[in-house]
Amino acid sequence: MNNLKLNLEGVYPFVSKEKVFAFKAKVEESQRLLHSKTGKGNDFLGWLHLPSSITTEQLNNIKATAESLSQATEVVVVIGIGGSYLGSKAVIDALSNSFSQLLDNGAHPHIVYAGQNIGEDYHYELLQLLEKKSGAAIVISKSGTTTEPALAFRLIKNHLEAKYCKLVAKNRIVAITDESKGALRTLATQEGYTTYVIPDDVGGRYSVLTPVGLLPIAVAGFDIHELVRGAQDMEKFLMDAPFEENPAMQYAAVRNALYSNGKKMEILANFEPKLHFMTEWWKQLYGESEGKENKGIFTAGVDFTTDLHSMGQYIQEGERFFFETVLSIAKTKHQLVVPTDKDNLDQLNFIAGKRIDQINKMAELGTKIAHIDGNVPNIHIEIPELTEYNLGALIYFFEKACALSGYTLDVNPFDQPGVEAYKKNMFALLNKKGFEKEGDVLRKRLGI
């Protein structure tokens, strides 16, 4: 199958090929643990064979719901946080026209997001938008009590019911939640919302290929059948391919080899603006999966060439504790050539007649050489072009490699115990019942 290309030549000047391949046995053991379901967190492996388990009927059902939501709806609000919104936003942004919010072609609703922050102005302005535009909501939460999405949904639910009446509003709300328990499941049953299930054995950051990601992507007008087909082909390829031909296993190995060599941060760089939120999704996937037990590679992201004019100086000459992974797109959708200017005041006639993408590719190559010369190890990942099929394959590749890398690091890549710490403090400071004593201690500590 493999349309995804992994190039490690930019790593070997810093960590030898022998040292990378020394991790082969450990990564192969990680693969065995995954597929035998005997490793840490094995009750959260539903994503592993998720692509191949999705049926055409399920996809058609999701597509039908998307079409129903889209009718006479200008704006659909996707309510969720972390993996409940990052995956769908990554795919939608990668495939959308960069200026779709300003283009009112009426073919599909605009997708906006809520519940990913607690910004008062943000939510006020969102409600103003929904007052002017016809709206609907997809609310995503396993429990229904996660603060950020629960708060946003309370606001948006009240708005939709006030604007359309309760009976009409229920047909403008879809809940994606637990199959049988939790506050959102209870509410959805009471109100009669259309619902989809978040599988118990799929964690949020691995949930793009469940209705969590597929429904918003379908509402935006993209082909979820092709997205899933790309993931299915990648699933089969990565399960069957030996280490020497397996990009997920090699990516897991090289990350651990670099980490053991003192590289504590990985920067994911792209030269395509549409990939910004793919980087954000990747940051959560790897950061939340590996950052525990005082271990793990810190994940960061940059958008080039933009960030070469901000972070470029540090990457080139700062402390050498990181490595760089470049996510590259071989072919663009459109073609645009630099015109000739007779006065040449900007001194750009030397690139006249060249395509913009050719210039961008030379910027990418020049940056790679400069960073390697600046002692930054460089991993290169390339997909052919931005299509649903290729993005489905890329998503599954990153998920599989993340699980293998976490097991190789000897952590549980499927839990996230640390994310509860801030919530306990927030609840205590807001005087939530049961947190009163903790609140008193914190206020005294803070002098408030």
Residues 203 and 97 both lie in one domain: yes
pLDDT at 334 over 80: yes
According to the 3-state scheme, what is the secondary structure of the chain?
Answer: CCCCEEECCCCCCCCCHHHHHCCHHHHHHHHHHHHHCCCCCHHHCCCCCHHHHCCHHHHHHHHHHHHHHHCCCCEEEEECCHHHCHHHHHHHHHHCCCCHHHCCCCCCCEEEEECCCCCHHHHHHHHHHHHHCCEEEEEECCCCCCHHHHHHHHHHHHHHHHHHCHHHHHHHEEEEECCCCCHHHHHHHHHCCEEEECCCCCCHHHCCCCHHHHHHHHHCCCCHHHHHHHHHHHHHHHHHCCHHHCHHHHHHHHHHHHHHCCCCEEEEEECCHHHHHHHHHHHHHHHHHHCCCCCCCEEEEEECCHHHHCCHHHHHHCCCCEEEEEEEEEECCCCCECCCCCCCCCCCHHHCCCEHHHHHHHHHHHHHHHHHHCCCCEEEEEEEECCHHHHHHHHHHHHHHHHHHHHHHCCCCCCCHHHHHHHHHHHHHCCCCCCHHHHHHHHHHHCC
- Who wins on pLDDT, 422 or 23? 23
| Within a domain: 9 | yes
pLDDT of residue 419: 63
Q: Quick one: average pLDDT of 398-422?
A: 88
Number of Cβ atoms within 10 Å of the Cβ of 448: 7
Q: Is 288 a catalytic residue?
A: yes
Question: What are the pLDDT digits (tens) for 174-204?
Answer: 999 999 999 999 999 999 999 999 999 999 9
Q: Which domain holds residue 25?
A: 5-39+227-409
Q: What is the mean pLDDT of the chain?
A: 93
What is the CATH classification number for the domain harbouring 344? 3.40.50.10490
Q: Is 423 a catalytic residue?
A: yes
Distance (Å, whole) CA 32 – CA 42: 12
Number of Cβ atoms within 10 Å of the Cβ of 31: 23
Residue linked to tokens 């009409």: 168
pLDDT at 56 over 90: yes
Residues 232 and 249 both lie in one domain: yes
Quote the percentage of the chain above a pLDDT of 70: 98
| Within a domain: 123 | yes
Residues 249 and 216 both lie in one domain: no
Residue from 288, 290, 364, 388 carrying the catalytic annotation: 288
Sort strands 322-331 and 378-385 into parallel, antiparallel or unpaired: parallel
Question: What are the pLDDT digits (tens) for 359-393?
Answer: 999 999 999 999 999 999 999 999 999 999 999 99
Residues 338 and 282 both lie in one domain: yes
| Within a domain: 433 | no
pTM of the full structure: 0.94
| Within a domain: 442 | no
pLDDT at 403 over 70: yes
pLDDT of residue 73: 92
Say if residue 389 is exposed, middle or buried (CB neighbours under 10 Å; 0-12, 13-18, 19+): buried
pLDDT of residue 105: 67
| Total tally of structural domains belonging to the chain | 2
Quote the percentage of the chain above a pLDDT of 90: 86
Residue from 17, 295, 333, 423 carrying the catalytic annotation: 423
Residues 110 and 18 both lie in one domain: no
| Within a domain: 419 | no
Residues 247 and 393 both lie in one domain: yes
Residues 195 and 249 both lie in one domain: no
Sequence-separated (6 or more) residues with CB below 8 Å from residue 146: 81
Residues 238 and 216 both lie in one domain: no
| Within a domain: 239 | yes
pLDDT band at 440 (very low <50, low <70, confident <90, very high): confident
| Within a domain: 448 | no
| Within a domain: 424 | no
